[in-house]
Structure 1
């Protein structure tokens, strides 16, 4: 069978039953997470990559989300495990709300609070999700909690009570009842049928996170390695040359560590965490997905950017190149300010000094990961002279304090639906943050795919005119980059990598 045109992927509305069935029959990984298939004869829904025999077209019903499939009465497949599917990366209000719910925003059941956070009334919130996904906020939250609990049951040996609470259920009784009602089996049945847990000892939880191939893992780790904050994070290289990432973690009063390595044969990352982080697993996994850009669709991005001959050459060299994110928005924002008008190595040195002076001691099994990054409140309370003592000009130290105060007051919490222009203007209200810094924060920390720091000298050097080899000015680069939208952030990474 013919496969679907890759350009059908970004907008799920363009997919038809016929094109979905072709992707299903081809086991096409490009569509993993873009749609789910409900099989009427079994009552089960699957990912497009499920290894079972392809059902007849007449038996298939297609859904854009797992929540819609479950609302229609289908149960998740125990073989392909829909909870592993990467999310569909779309920058609109409905998907932004969905991602918040997937991170546990409705675990307390407070729809009014979530609606206020995203700038809607509860009625508007309900209407947005119904129009886009066909389910209510409560139905979407229930599906996310159940699928997350199913993931923990199949991949860990956490106690049943820990699974229930980590998945956002207020009681074990409520968890058992909803699981039985929705899936027709008790949670213990899932655990008995699960593959052997890969938890690495009593002090670690191990989980898997899927992505759409290809994934330029080595390039991402090289990028992160050069910018790793000493004491907080590190890139580890083993005897075989394989690289992994480790860092300290602090979420409110919960602290611990995490370690991420690549499983290329499975198109997954393996995430190991300290057991102390069990209560915060839902928001923590959402952060990791964002940091490693797991919901990107590299085929779609490459198909668009390859129209430019300048980028096509680098795309062929580094297929699956993604935009490295950050585990913590404030951490990356401070790192961006430290990087103003200095080299990457210089900014890395300064960030390590900042952590050594203002950070909090951390207990981890990794050499070099010894601290948690300082909190906004800690840096806001420091004097400019104290901050400058790490080797900064007094104006840069003031910018650090201004940004810390801004973050402590909630300035880095961006409402879904806010445009890139609005975000950049908002960030530039902080004294000491200009266009380059704001665009860089928007690109890496706030995950705006079209953010583009055109003032970067490296980008200007990389993006030479093909005719005469002259370095572009910022204005010329912005004009050239207009055709790269809405993936200018990925174009920036391609250009930076072309320099090396």
Structure 2
């Protein structure tokens, strides 16, 4: 990514939050690199150099600022096709896929060779994937040292280091102080029975609209949503063939810090990269409201900073979309609750009445369609859900962020009972595709006063490439009618 020094310095002078996470500034007079929103006195331009990633700044010899904390910067949203594969690889690295899978697994997941991955990654971020991964591990550890009371060994393990000795050596070499020294300087806070970390976003953030959307779709025993808190049970396979890791998470809004506060039990610390990635997708934290709202002025004044409610897990959204076909939200929630009760994973010791998770693709693929019908699904939808679960479990359909949209839509619509509406909802919320638009949605058609999907698409063309955000705004406006 090419950076214009004049533009970057102007953003630095004004502390423009639109650029937070899009570049970092190294200050030669201090040896520190900062986010463009750092509150310290603005350095002279001649002392500034600009970098497309924290890893690039560290490779140039700079240490992270203790004031603005680069590890809290929001990530890159999907704005165009250029660099999309590199950002997909970066997202996988952020979630810890390199530990222990290796960078070859990252290349395989994004469908390219390791050599090509290195080439496009260095063009986008200014460093190799290996250097980027090491910086992300160190920054994750820095955040845990500052925000939690985890023991050093647990911090090293959570950040993906093979040993405490290696962790201490790299931390001291890169940052000029020991992990214990940083903890003493920062004054770690928190409760011993839970971890809380900050996840930054670019303001504004329409928190009330987000929790309203999630609350109307919350499944009893799986999720609990209030005006100031979102909680859910989670389960995922840490390694192929291993028993699922279970636990719970809670998310609160911290508007003064332009961040969400993620709380989880300490036993999930070693999986924090994966969990943070899921929460960022669920709450669409990497969106660019400055660009999106400027493109959708007819909606933005009503709810500035509206986000697309995403997915902690892509298959979950697909399951919700199939279950919700042509029925109301209350009935869909009942069926989903039965699926969780009969086929989900039990989560012990979770707060707020969270008891079970929704089943994953492998579990439902092992069920019979008759077992799914017993949960309240019609025969046709039971066959559709089973076919979908089988396709995902066998790897024929990948429902992950930044998956290639058109091939994925085609693969979904080749399955029985999945048409354009269902596929577009999955693309919108499961894949995080901001231009998805379910033109056959009855609520959207009513809001726009149009009957034919072709007319809907023609009308929505003005909102591209943010048609998905326009759809969420229209759902928000609706006074009746329910969507998945």
- TM-score bracket for the superposition, by shorter chain length: over 0.9
Aligned twin of 1:223: 213
Q: Secondary structure at the match of 1:49?
A: coil
Q: How big is the shift at 1:361?
A: 2.0
Matched, 1:336 2:321: yes
Residue from 272, 292, 317 that aligns with 2:302? 317
Change (3 A) 1:413 1:499: same
Aligned twin of 1:169: 161
Matched, 1:420 2:405: yes
Residue from 283, 287, 290 that aligns with 2:278? 287
Matched, 1:113 2:71: no
Is 1:97–1:416's contact at 8 Å kept on the other side of the alignment?
no
Q: How big is the shift at 1:434?
A: 1.2
Aligned twin of 2:246: 255
Aligned twin of 1:149: 141
Matched, 1:400 2:385: yes
Aligned twin of 1:239: none
Matched, 1:476 2:455: yes
Q: How big is the shift at 1:152?
A: 0.5
Change (3 A) 1:418 1:380: closer
Matched, 1:499 2:459: no
Change (3 A) 1:84 1:112: same
Q: How big is the shift at 1:109?
A: 6.6
Is 1:117–1:415's contact at 8 Å kept on the other side of the alignment?
no
Q: Distance in 2 between matches of 1:498 and 1:409?
A: 39
Q: How big is the shift at 1:416?
A: 7.7
Q: How big is the shift at 1:472?
A: 4.2
Aligned twin of 2:433: 448
Q: Distance in 2 between matches of 1:291 and 1:484?
A: 22
Residue from 179, 185, 200 that aligns with 2:171? 179
After superposition, what is the alpha-carbon deviation per residue over 1:56-82, rounded to whole angstroms, capped at 9, x for unaligned?
111111111111111111110011000
Q: Distance in 2 between matches of 1:417 and 1:287?
A: 13
Q: How big is the shift at 1:354?
A: 1.6
Residue from 47, 53, 61 that aligns with 2:35? 47
Change (3 A) 1:108 1:269: same
Q: How big is the shift at 1:413?
A: 2.6
Aligned twin of 1:387: 372
Aligned CA RMSD, in angstroms, stands at 1.6
Q: Distance in 1 between matches of 2:130 and 2:373?
A: 49
Q: Distance in 1 between matches of 2:260 and 2:400?
A: 29
Q: Secondary structure at the match of 1:181?
A: helix
Unaligned runs of 5+ in 1: 1-11, 237-241, 307-311, 465-470
Q: Secondary structure at the match of 1:260?
A: strand
Q: Distance in 2 between matches of 1:109 and 1:435?
A: 35
After superposition, what is the alpha-carbon deviation per residue over 1:198-238, rounded to whole angstroms, capped at 9, x for unaligned?
x2x332111111111000001000000111122211102xx
Q: Distance in 2 between matches of 1:221 and 1:419?
A: 29
Q: Distance in 1 between matches of 2:220 and 2:95?
A: 28
How does the TM-score come out when normalised to structure 1? 0.91
Is 1:38–1:60's contact at 8 Å kept on the other side of the alignment?
yes
Aligned twin of 1:79: 67
Q: Secondary structure at the match of 1:107?
A: helix
* Corresponding residue pairs, total: 469
Q: How big is the shift at 1:376?
A: 2.1
Is 2:400–2:431's contact at 8 Å kept on the other side of the alignment?
no
Change (3 A) 1:302 1:416: closer
Q: How big is the shift at 1:388?
A: 0.9
Q: How big is the shift at 1:499?
A: 1.2
Unaligned runs of 5+ in 2: 238-243, 480-484
Q: How big is the shift at 1:300?
A: 0.7
Matched, 1:98 2:94: no
Matched, 1:432 2:417: yes
Deviates more, 1:109-118 or 1:256-265: 109-118
Q: Distance in 2 between matches of 1:455 and 1:216?
A: 26
Residue from 21, 40, 58 that aligns with 1:70? 58
Q: Distance in 2 between matches of 1:472 and 1:79?
A: 54
Is 1:228–1:235's contact at 8 Å kept on the other side of the alignment?
yes
Q: Secondary structure at the match of 2:230?
A: strand
Q: How big is the shift at 1:366?
A: 2.9
Q: How big is the shift at 1:418?
A: 4.8
Q: Distance in 1 between matches of 2:404 and 2:236?
A: 27
Aligned twin of 2:348: 363
Change (3 A) 1:338 1:118: same
Matched, 1:133 2:122: no
Is 1:43–1:74's contact at 8 Å kept on the other side of the alignment?
yes
